Amino acid sequence: MRLLHTMLRVGNLERSLMFYTEILGMQLLRRKDYPDGRFTLAFVGYQPESDGAVIELTHNWETSEYDLGNGYGHIAIEVEDAYDTCATIKARGGLVVRDAGPMKHGTTVIAFVEDPDGYKIELIQRDSRAN
């Protein structure tokens, strides 16, 4: 397993991209609009996603600002098989809050687990990360 990305919800994607790329010196690695879901995902980092963890900026089109308390999204971990990993986590007493399956408006197989404090951890199946 390896750490993939941390997701942050942003109110103004262009402003955030300018900050992360121009002020912090990251690169825009990929960006995709999901019109059916009315959101955009942009991934920024210092190296390719295959070489290290990055930041996912999520812009929900109708939301212009967030409180810091709900701006944080999740930590993502790449797994070989999200279905098997969920079964293992359940067997170990962990809480799976979204069973493994394709993401809405895409084909990537994901699942979510929750830590004891309520923070979400996304499991992303390695071979399905095309979208």
Among this protein's residues, is 122 annotated catalytic? yes
Rounded to an integer, what is the distance from CA 95 to the centroid of its chain? 19
Name the residue with tokens 């069973």.
99
Q: Which residues, 6 or more positions from 14, have their beta carbon under 8 angstroms from its beta carbon?
A: none
Selected catalytic residue, list 14, 22, 114, 122: 122
Q: Which residues are catalytic?
A: 122
